[in-house]
Structure 1
Amino acid sequence: MKAAYTRPFLTAALIILADQIIKIWVRKHMAIGEEIKFLGDRGMLHYTENNGMAFGMELGGELGKLALTLFRIVAVFGIGYALVHLIKHKYHRGLIMMVALILAGALGNIIDSTFYGIIYNYAGIFHGRVVDMFYFPILSGHFPTWFPMWGGEEFIFFRPVFNLADAAISIGVIMILINQKRYFKHETPEESNPNSEMVEE
């Protein structure tokens, strides 16, 4: 039974470690706004920090920041409990691994928002900023002038800057949505049929 717990939690731990290594390296070797291109103008490291949710979205004000961090912590406990429940009740291995990815991503960003302010001496506990760095502006151009609301304005896909933790959460959620019929397929446990025993006798 212990082996069933090892793979998902080890996977989560490795993702958290890799996420933190990348963030620490970026913070140490790059200035905010600096870019290191590895796919020309279509893929780069772009160092930025945000006070809020995944992909740079924010919840306003200091109170909002505190509420978001505390919510993340509560959510992680819930996700962790769900992961243990799924393993214990032998749910689909794919589902278990995807929940492990979501847990890893949530924990990766919690470390930033909980401790980075203290570690890097710019804010108190629970008020740290999340480090983001991956930027893939694959498509860019302008909306047609006739386009509602954004006519003539510039568009970029994919605009958000994100980190490995964000990617882990997104992959986990998307794969669960895509494979939900397979992951949540109802399987009844095998039970002995009383009639079959009578036949055998």
Structure 2
Amino acid sequence: MKNILTKGRISLLTIFSILLIDQLIKVAVKTSMYFHESIHVTDWFYIYFTENNGMAFGMEIFGKLFLTSFRIIAVGLIAWYLMKIIKRGAKTGYIVCISLIFTGALGNIIDSVFYGILFNESTHSSIANFMPAGGGYSTWFYGKVVDMFYFPIIDTTWPAWIPMIGGEHFIFFSPIFNFADAAISCGIIALLLFYSKYLNETYHSHE
């Protein structure tokens, strides 16, 4: 029982820490930067404020309400699974990975559900305010997810002699993402690198 409580506390600490950092960054960017404003940190790292209606890394596939509903259902299932593996005494690292994925998804849900009513519109000429007198830019479940991390590690032009693509602009790793996206990605990568065998054992134990 003591071991389960310890693993549960580690999971909660991971969830609250990541969620707090994610929301603090998003609110700071949203209330201090113009839309599409860019802050040069290094030649391969920028703080670039943008927003999206879709999934992680700005991919838009389905309708907004469907996406938000899907996220909520997915987070509910992950929360159920997380509680289950904690009770079963799963490895601490595995629990942390699932906690990262859960928190990342939850962080973007908060944007989708609440930001439309908590902030007014961010534009190229005006900075958004928190709880504006005139109301937010949208309604419940129609908020936009705030993104800001941009890592154009390689920003160059293809040599003219290369067929088809010669002379075209090329950027390696162009997605703009947020801290929640990073938490999801880190959780998934760590699962695949360190717990693929454990995942396989967990799957077969349910067969």
Q: Give TM-score, length-normalised by structure 1.
A: 0.84
Separation (CA, whole Å) in 2 of partners of 1:152 and 1:124: 45
Cα drift, residue 10 of structure 1: 1.5
- Is 1:146 aligned to 2:163, yes or no? yes
Separation (CA, whole Å) in 1 of partners of 2:196 and 2:59: 31
Q: CA RMSD in A?
A: 1.7
**Match of 1:27?**
30
Separation (CA, whole Å) in 2 of partners of 1:129 and 1:7: 30
In the alignment, structure 2 segments of 5+ residues that lack a partner are 120-135, 203-207
Cα drift, residue 143 of structure 1: 4.1
| 1:38 match: secondary structure | strand
Cα drift, residue 74 of structure 1: 0.3
**Match of 1:59?**
61
Cα drift, residue 151 of structure 1: 5.5
- Is 1:123 aligned to 2:134, yes or no? no
**Match of 1:173?**
188
Q: Deviations over 1:53-86 (max 9, x none)?
A: 11111125xxx11000000000000011111111
Separation (CA, whole Å) in 2 of partners of 1:184 and 1:173: 12
Higher Cα Rg: structure 1 or 2? 1
Structure 1, 66-75 or 91-100: larger mean CA deviation: 91-100
What does residue range 11-160 of structure 1 map to in structure 2 within 5 Å? 11-39=14-42, 41-60=43-62, 64-120=63-119, 121-143=136-158, 145-146=162-163, 150=165, 152-160=167-175
| 1:29 match: secondary structure | coil
Taking a change above 3 Å as real, the CA distance of residues 151 and 125 of structure 1, as seen in their structure-2 partners, is farther
- Is 1:2 aligned to 2:9, yes or no? no
Separation (CA, whole Å) in 1 of partners of 2:173 and 2:139: 33
Separation (CA, whole Å) in 2 of partners of 1:54 and 1:175: 18
Cα drift, residue 154 of structure 1: 1.9
Separation (CA, whole Å) in 1 of partners of 2:66 and 2:146: 19
**Count, aligned residues:** 181
Separation (CA, whole Å) in 2 of partners of 1:186 and 1:30: 47
